[in-house]
Amino acid sequence: MSPAIPRKPRPDRPRTDKTRTDKTRTDRPSPPRARRAPGADALSFDEVVSGAFDEAQSQAPEAVAEPARRVLAPEAESPKLHKVLAQAGLGSRVEMEQLIVQGRLSVNGEPAHVGQRIQHGDQIRLDGKPLRLRLEPPAPRVLAYHKPAGEVVTHDDPQNRPTVFRRLPRLHQGKWQSVGRLDLNTEGLLLFTNAGELANRLMHPSFGLQREYAVRVLGAISNEERQRLLDGVQLEDGPAQFQSIEDGGGEGANCWYRVTIGEGRNREVRRLFEAVGHAVSRLIRIRYGAVVLPRGLPRGAWIELGERDVQRLAQAAGVRTPRARAPREDAAAPATARRRHGPGPKSPPPKASVPRRRDDVSPMRGRASGGQPDPMKTSQGYIGHDAVQRQRREGGKGPAKPPRPQGRRPRG
């Protein structure tokens, strides 16, 4: 064996007292720390073999696991929470999602999350108070309202003007939603429904729903102005155009026109005519999609469409709706009356509210003069033109009459 090499003695260093107080530590400035070499914090192979790695992992605190969220399959019996709350009339879907984000809703004692689905037997609470909700949506209802000039389409008006909702019947569940809007001075057809999905589909711009108006303007439009309105006019919020323009006659300086448009921007019809130098003195909407203004419906009155009309409207809009009962044929009531009371005078055939035009090339899907399809044209024609006469034949009360204005008493 080789002899041991003696070590060189190290110079004596002043030994520091490890038991010094914190005061002595803070008195002296600490020397700057040396930078660690790259890879110094990396796990070494020796630590794994010696077992130090396993020991450090066992002493590390365990990560807190988030509570598992219950996820239900998208079935008809498990709708989304914000949709059920909206159809119950508590607010819009966006407002219900905000309540969920704020943590004000709970399902079975746990905070609800956005997009959560619920099922029968779940306990839903809002701010700690239990809610009684129906998971299945109510049967869809549609009202056709003849809006007069001077009413606004809003639930709450800060100027306290008369609104269209004050005349509508009350709902036990949900609330009436207007399908589109009409400005203060515009009259005519306005649809209401309690089905949010149907209302959204009828109002969505991508659906290309046709609106038809009867317009009275000051002065006749020339051929150049007519072509400009059909080709497109630049407005403040973008280009706009009519899909069709037809002459409607008139007396003196007032001229009537029948126009169709494929969108519902604010005061769009009026602004289009004003862009070519003609002021609109009267504007009446006579058709919205496949629904026309019922014949004989007075201003300020509403009538509820029958179940068959609602099913046809929902089918044309691509919305599945539950059927409450089997539809009844329109000819059942007159036939029964004739059998009981004997043969009566022959009734004239019903007249169509909207005559067939040359641009309606197909009974299933008509086309406007601009070449764009009318997706709401059904195989049975337009909806609601004989709603008033049908209810009277079936023994109903007909349209709800508008309230009599207060002030003067009727004579006699």
DSSP string, 74-112: --TTS-BHHHHHHHTTS--HHHHHHHHHTT-EEETTEE-
Tell me how far apart the alpha carbons of residues 76 and 398 are, in angstroms, rounded to a whole number: 36
Tell me how far apart the alpha carbons of residues 282 and 264 are, in angstroms, rounded to a whole number: 17
CA distance to 2, 6, 12, 13, 64, per residue, from 9 (Å): 21, 9, 9, 12, 55
Q: Give long-range contacts, CB 8 A cutoff, 24+ apart: 164-167.
A: 164/190, 167/300, 167/301, 167/302, 167/400, 167/402, 167/403
Q: State the sign of the Cα–Cα–Cα–Cα dihedral 57, 58, 64, 66.
A: positive
Q: Please, which residues have CB within 8 angstroms of residue 366's CB and are 6 or more apart in sequence?
A: 359, 360, 373, 374, 377
- Report whether 178 contacts 302 (CB < 8 A): no
Tell me how far apart the alpha carbons of residues 73 and 12 are, in angstroms, rounded to a whole number: 78
Please state whether beta strands 187-193 and 280-288 pair in parallel, antiparallel, or not at all (unpaired).
parallel
Catalytic annotation, pick one of 27, 122, 183, 386: 183
Q: Please, which residues have CB within 8 angstroms of residue 346's CB and are 6 or more apart in sequence?
A: none
Kind and range of the H or E run holding 179: strand 177-179
163 secondary structure, DSSP code: B
Active site residue 183: yes
CB count within 10 Å of CB 172 equals 6
Tell me how far apart the alpha carbons of residues 172 and 334 are, in angstroms, rounded to a whole number: 33
Catalytic residues: 183
